[in-house]
Structure 1
Amino acid sequence: MGRVREVGMVCALVALMTLMTLAGCGPAEEQEAQAEVARPVAVLTVATEPLVLTSELPGRIEPVRVAEVRARVAGIVLEKRFEEGADVKAGDLLFQIDPAPLKAAVSRAEGELARAKAALYEAQARVKRYAPLVEIEAVSRQDFDSAMADLSAAQATTRTAQADLETARLNLGYASVKAPISGRIGRALVTEGALVGQGDATLMARIQQLDPVYVDFTQSATDALRLREALKAGNLSAGDSSALSIRVEGTEYESKGSLMFTDVAVDPGTGQVSLRGKFANPDGVLLPGMYVRVQAPQGMDDRATLVPQRAVQRTADGGALVLVVGEDSRAEVRAVKTGVMQGARWQISEGLKGGDQVIVGGLAGLQPGARVAPQQAQDQQVSRQ
């Protein structure tokens, strides 16, 4: 009986050790089995597409035309006939200067003209009488020559008087100060009762045409030269280089416009080239002096590679990495070189080729070398990422 009990205890001990061994090995085998399970990920197959390269440049709004409304005659301002900050049309009455002294000047000039015409009539009549008499020597040649000289002087005096009358009438018209251009008028710089035009042309108001408007901005001469070399080498195509867009800082306002010209000289102090764009402004949102960001085309890459921003990871030294589906359907790290951002996508200039499958979804916790089950991402999902 003792022998049987001893054999039973040994068997039980062996069974227990076997059970413990199986228990200790089970989790490791289970983890290894789980590690080999293919993880579903969303992938984007690399393909090329046209990409318009742009640069964001600082700019300022400038009015197309600016007119300074000035007093062209001296006098007292009797009335202001506009609302400050309103839109005015060319020819609208803005100020009324006291016309009384100017009307008196017109009357005086009319009197001088009438006197000159009377003298002219007398000189003409004298010459007309002397003309036949000088032929029969009833009047001396000297008297006739004097009559002709008096006629010429009377004609000159009449023309001078006529010009003085026209000047007086112009000055009377200038008493009604009108808008020289259509646009938005600012605040009045003079008030009723002010003496203007005394010695100089007093500035009374300023009108600015705000539709359309100009946007003046600058670009580095180095960037402009680099673009020209890329176009010459065929790495980029010109595309529509005159199309511009602007964004008002701190708002969602955007507007489309066109490039008018590029300056022919480089500022030696800043190394910048000046450019000017033209933008429609029917609502008057863009105001002179406003700071904007200009999106200026820098050519077109006809075979650009774009991947969602979230697919690109950065290293400590600033390098860019993406995960691609490698051999045996395993995640593989690929070093790439990024170009410009277009919305939520990075341009990849180096490191990817057509047909590569870039992992764009399911990246959380994904390690290089892990087995993956790629699923093609939908275009809408990719654009949101």
Structure 2
Amino acid sequence: MSTEAPKGPNIRELESLRIARAAQPKKPSRLVPAAITIVILAVVGAAGYVVYQKTLGRPPEVQTAIVSVKQAGQAGTVLTGSGYVITKHKYIVIGTKILGQIVAEPIEEGQRVKVGDLLARIDDRDYQAQLKQAYADRDLAAADLVLKRARADRMRTLYAQGVESKDSLDDAENQLSVAEANLKKSDGEIEFAKFNVSQTVITSPINGVVLQKYRELGDTINYGGEIQAGGGATDIAQLADLTDMRCEVDINESDIAKVKMGTPATVIPDAYPDDPFPAQVVKIYPEADRQKGTVKVEVRILQPDLKIIKPEMSAKVTFQSIMTNAATAPMVLVPKKAIVTDGSANSVWVVRGDTIHLAPITVGREYQDGVEVKNGLSGGEMVIVVPAATLKEGQEVTAVAS
């Protein structure tokens, strides 16, 4: 019996049993990511450099201003203040000294009046009657005086003849003196009655404007009556004299030395900021206000426009100082905040190009728009305003106009 060797597996069968592996992806080159990284780092570095140049690497910023120059004879501002428009005599309250009913009052607030214009008329019938009575009393007194004078003359003759006694003569002369006194009294009563009649017609004593009426047509003026609109018992109206318009302003005690009589000024009404008016100091009050620490000053408006300027309007007053034409050199002004003070020495930081340099100066009078520099600056220089204490000579800075 023959034996056959066992047949091995078929090659095709073995191939069918083999597990097929997925194709392995091809590994990318490492050069591309490296290039991208380099580009990103370059961009970030450039941006960082730009940011550094604009921040940490940039010279510090400083606020600067230009040194100004005022020519000889040009006005310089000393100080400014706020106040109110007034008149020379403040406000005039017109009234009467008698009582009665108002029968005419042809005025209104804001109306312009002239000297002698009628403001009000009071019923004068009772005062006219009193005047007539006074005239009649004087006539009686005059007649009585004639009688008493004749009697006294007779008594003197009779006494000289020894017919009448000394007592009779003294009595006659005494009656004559009483009659003369009664006549003078009657004349006084007539004057008083005339005055009362004159008070029934109230006229304007000034050229001005009616600010306020305290009474109306038909009102009765009496001492027990109600006071109208802030006026007194016999007040009729309040007037303002517009021939001398002024502005009243309170100045701090520390600044009053800068203002003198005749100091030029400019008045700018708050309601009309584009319409300044030239003015001049005409009054400095002799007493200061202890509580406010101020001194009252009045400036007269030289050319007021009455269509614009009105009493009690608020306004800003700028006081000025005029340099004389004798001054040969212009006045150099530097901002006060730019001055660095070290003991008695003063200096400023001047910006030249991109660097700063400390320049010693000699200062003069202080004005509203700067401090006078007598030596050290010629005008036009760029100086640092409110300089930091850490600044150094020759340091680079970035100038920024203030």
Q: Distance in 2 between matches of 1:111 and 1:130?
A: 29
1:121 equivalenced with 2:173 (yes/no): no
68, 85, 100: which is aligned to 2:110? 85
Q: Distance in 2 between matches of 1:154 and 1:214?
A: 57
Q: Which has the larger radius of gyration?
A: 2
Residue range with higher mean Cα deviation, 62-71 or 161-170: 62-71
SS in 2 for 1:112: helix
Look up the match of 2:220.
195
Q: Distance in 2 between matches of 1:136 and 1:177?
A: 61
Deviation readout 1:239-291 (Å, 9 max, x if unpaired): x9621111112421211111113233432222222222111325253222221
Moved over 6 A (4+): 44-48, 335-339
SS in 1 for 2:216: coil
User: Shift in Å at residue 298 of structure 1?
Assistant: 5.3
Look up the match of 2:270.
249
Look up the match of 1:271.
293
206, 213, 216: which is aligned to 2:248? 216
1:57 equivalenced with 2:81 (yes/no): yes
Q: How many pairs were matched up?
A: 293
SS in 1 for 2:213: coil
Q: Distance in 2 between matches of 1:279 and 1:140?
A: 80
5+ residue gaps, structure 1, are 1-43, 229-237, 314-319, 325-329, 360-367, 371-385
User: Shift in Å at residue 48 of structure 1?
Assistant: 7.0
- Asked if the contact 1:72/1:201 (under 8 Å) is kept, the reply is no
% of aligned pairs identical?
Answer: 18
| Distance 1:273-1:138 versus aligned 2 partners, 3 A rule | same
Residue range with higher mean Cα deviation, 248-257 or 265-274: 265-274
Look up the match of 1:36.
none
Deviation readout 1:330-371 (Å, 9 max, x if unpaired): 5544578997675xxx76749963387669xxxxxxxx699x
| Distance 1:139-1:271 versus aligned 2 partners, 3 A rule | same
One-letter amino acid of the structure 1 residue matched with residue 86 of structure 2: E
1:305 equivalenced with 2:321 (yes/no): no
User: Shift in Å at residue 150 of structure 1?
Assistant: 0.3
SS in 2 for 1:78: strand
1:295 equivalenced with 2:318 (yes/no): yes
One-letter amino acid of the structure 2 residue matched with residue 304 of structure 1: M
Q: Distance in 1 between matches of 2:177 and 2:239?
A: 48
Q: Distance in 2 between matches of 1:45 and 1:193?
A: 69
| Distance 1:191-1:332 versus aligned 2 partners, 3 A rule | same
TM-score, normalised by the number of residues in structure 2 = 0.63
Give the alignment's Cα RMSD to 1 decimal.
Answer: 3.7
One-letter amino acid of the structure 1 residue matched with residue 267 of structure 2: I
SS in 1 for 2:128: helix
SS in 1 for 2:291: coil
| Distance 1:151-1:282 versus aligned 2 partners, 3 A rule | farther
- Asked if the contact 1:116/1:154 (under 8 Å) is kept, the reply is yes
Look up the match of 1:179.
204
Look up the match of 1:38.
none
One-letter amino acid of the structure 1 residue matched with residue 297 of structure 2: L
- Asked if the contact 1:335/1:351 (under 8 Å) is kept, the reply is no
| Distance 1:258-1:354 versus aligned 2 partners, 3 A rule | closer
User: Shift in Å at residue 323 of structure 1?
Assistant: 4.2
SS in 1 for 2:243: strand
How do residues 19-38 of structure 1 correspond to structure 2 at under 5 angstroms? none
| Distance 1:45-1:203 versus aligned 2 partners, 3 A rule | closer
User: Shift in Å at residue 74 of structure 1?
Assistant: 1.2
User: Shift in Å at residue 303 of structure 1?
Assistant: 4.5
Look up the match of 2:49.
none
User: Shift in Å at residue 146 of structure 1?
Assistant: 0.6
User: Shift in Å at residue 198 of structure 1?
Assistant: 4.1
One-letter amino acid of the structure 2 residue matched with residue 204 of structure 1: I
SS in 1 for 2:192: helix
SS in 2 for 1:160: helix
Q: Which has the higher helix share?
A: 1
Q: Distance in 2 between matches of 1:266 and 1:73?
A: 39
Q: Distance in 2 between matches of 1:88 and 1:48?
A: 46
